[in-house]
Chain A
Amino acid sequence: MTLRMPEPRREILAQRADIVRALKSMVPGEGVIDTADQMRAYETDGLTAYRQMPMVVVLPETVEQVAAVLSYCSERQIKVVPRGSGTSLSGGALPLADGVLLAMGKFNRILDIDFDNRTVTAQPGVTNLAITRAVEGKGFYYAPDPSSQIACSIGGNVAENAGGVHCLKYGLTTNNLLGLEMVLISGEIVRLGGKHLDSEGYDLMGLMTGSEGLLGVITEVTVRILTKPDGARAMLIGFQSNEAAGQCVADVISAGIIPGGMEMMDRPAIQAVEEFVGAGYPLDAQALLIVELDGPAVEVDQLIERVHAIAKKNEANSIRVSTNENERLLFWAGRKAAFPAAGRISPDYLCMDGTIPRRELPQVLNGLEQLSLQYGLRVANVFHAGDGNLHPLILYDANKAEELDRAERFGADILRLCVKHGGVLTGEHGVGVEKRDLMPEMFSPIDLVQQQRVKCAFDVGGLLNPGKVFPTLHRCAELGRMHVHRGEVAFPKIPRF
């Protein structure tokens, strides 16, 4: 698969031996990897359709080393791609041929657990799940739970603003973050926030969250932890149509109920999952909702009654309520296995990630069906229904000529469909390289220019993770001179990569 990335600079590649030597002096021991065999592990991330060997991989262990590497790269105008665990589904950590890949895996320690202030401070390479594991003994957990939580790093979660099935009630990474330490490309170390709330000054922590490694390298993270709810029960509700399931979701929210999780699957997803996991999903349903209510037992019981009534009103044809913890986990097991289940019924799949206003769901699903026929590729849908985040899985076979290309064009059309219905290109997976060239579908030239000017405030040389997020690269001086007339920049025809 070809993807246009910034042209590698020959003068940088020519200095490779010197650069490797210099990096080895800054990060001693095993901290610099420069052989092709060893670098192979870093040539791709969760978006495996794209691969690129980096110029060199650096694995720093201290913030001082990160600062030294960045400051060196900044002086020499060498590009840097930061990487956490490499689980990005949008190619956020795709290396550059003339770039240093800065892998943060050795930053793997939890630094502080403070139950009284309900915070955990961790190095960025600590996995999402490890934070919960460290505090669950005392009845706490870290709320954002992306499906890759066993592997993905907390630093990567911040860079991508990771979500998960519980963010409807408990928020995304950005809503659970209290403090950050980061290193700018200049090598300067900046600390934001801490154990207190709402640091004044510009909300640079909010800006950093979801900035996809383009603004700074995160070296420390402080998050808030929550007390586990007293209990949780899940409901499995089958519907005769996507419309009925969609209406049920809207009615639950309108009734003032914010479930701990509210997930939806369409018929192809139900079939694939049930065959794989045997979670007891209703095979006759056109759409399935999993609704989880959590809190004190008396509250959970009442809310389940209310949701039950709403489901009945929307002509649910099956309703099951978990009666014990094992059953609740079984209900979820199917949903959590949706991606591998898709992998069983198809050699390859592409996972898309648009968000739409909830009420647009039936129309968007109809549009999806038509596109599926048009492109001749099957699609299964799993959907964070509560917050409108849609994950269509496009099934294809990479061994068949043209199928990946067709799948990608299908995917792009799905995202255009989301934007057309008032939604956005990506809900939680990030823009990366995958959705980069679709950004103009959602933003005007000036919207993008303003974002790139912000980038310049952090990284005037454009050295941190270039080629991601933005479809065109401008020099900062050029962005500063740009004038906008009637919503158009003076030279909108600039070539893309």
Chain B
Amino acid sequence: MSADPLLRHEDAEETAPRQRFLLEDTGFDEVPPKYRRFYRKWKGPGDALGPNEVVCPVCKVVIRSTRELRPGDRVYCMPCMSRLVVVRAEDGRLEARVAY
């Protein structure tokens, strides 16, 4: 285990089991029905994201996963066809970066 408290936190996060989420259709209609539960509309800066959600930086749709997201995870934004990688921002929140 690392001596750095921040890294220790990352280590602990990596070994802890991930929460699982049952996704339900939120009415997002911009992708084929079988993929709709993985996306929802973003309601703006006040929209609280779940631990399984990130905002697509390209088209501003909320991307959802069936499991808790962690840095390094790959997610896809189908509405804008982007491949993204989850990273931890400076303020501690999870965000998605485009991986061309």
Answer whether A and B are interacting partners. Answer: no
Q: Which residues of B contact A (CB under 8 A)?
A: none
Q: Which A residues have a C-beta under 8 Å from some C-beta of B? A: none
